[in-house]
Structure 1
Amino acid sequence: MNTKKMMVFVLMVMVLSANAISISKEKTQDKMKVTTAATFDGYDEDDGYAFIIQEDLDDEDSEETVYFSEITEEALKAVNLKSEEMIGKRFEITYEVTEYEEEDENGYIELFESYKIIAIKTL
C-alpha cells in the first residue's frame, strides 16, 4: 500500500514540474512579425544580413541598420543575399522578431531580440 502512495506522489510531482517548466518557457519568448521596405547593406559571417530600415518615413535621419542572424530556406532561394551585387538594392522583407530573456551568472535577467527573415522580394 505504501509503495502505491509513493508512486502516485512521485508521478504527481513529475507532472507538476513538467507543467511549470513549460509555462516558464512560454513567458520568456515573444514573437512578432513585421513587413517593411529596406535597403540591403551586405552580408557578414559574424553579423549576418544587414539591412537599412527607415523607422519614420517622414524623417530621413531615422535610418537604422538591422542585422538578421537567421533566414528561411525560401527567402534564401528567392534572393542571393550573399552576392555583392545585391548591396544597395531595395527589398520588401517580412521578418520575425523574437524577444527572449536570459539570466546571467549574477542572477540578473536581460532582454534580448533576435531577427529572422521569413520572406523577401525585390522592389
Structure 2
Amino acid sequence: MSKLISGKEALIALANGQDVEYKSINGWSDVKHLHAYEFLGVCPEFRLKPRTISINGIEVPAPFEPKEGETYWCFSTQTVLGYGHNVYESERADRRFINMGAWRTEEEIKQVVAALRCVFGGES
C-alpha cells in the first residue's frame, strides 16, 4: 500500500504537478474532482498515485531506487519464482541485483514477473 499523506501534503503535491488520489467508497479516486475545503477535512485519506509502467500493454508498478537499509524485490534466476529480495547496501554491492529494476514489495514484483511471462508466452 502507498504511504498516506495529509490534506496539506496532498495540496502541495498537486500544486507541484504530482498525481494525488483520495480514498472514496469505490476505492482510490483522482482528487481533481474535490473542492479545496475537502482537503482540510478529517475524513479523506490521501496518497500520491502509484507510478506505473507498461510492459507490452500491461500496466505494472514502476521500479524505485532503494536507499541504504531498505528491502527491495528484484528479478532472480536463482529461484523458481523468478524473483527474490535483498536489503540495499550500496550501488556497488547491489547493482547486479537491481540492474533490471527494484520494487518495494513482493506483490509489486509478482505483477511484473507475471506480465513478463505473458509477454513471452508463459503462464501468469
Q: Normalised by the shorter chain, which TM-score bucket?
A: under 0.3
TM-score scaled by structure 1? Answer: 0.23
Greater relative contact order (Cα 8 A, min sep 6): structure 1 or 2?
A: 1
TM-score scaled by structure 2? Answer: 0.22
Q: Which has the larger radius of gyration?
A: 1
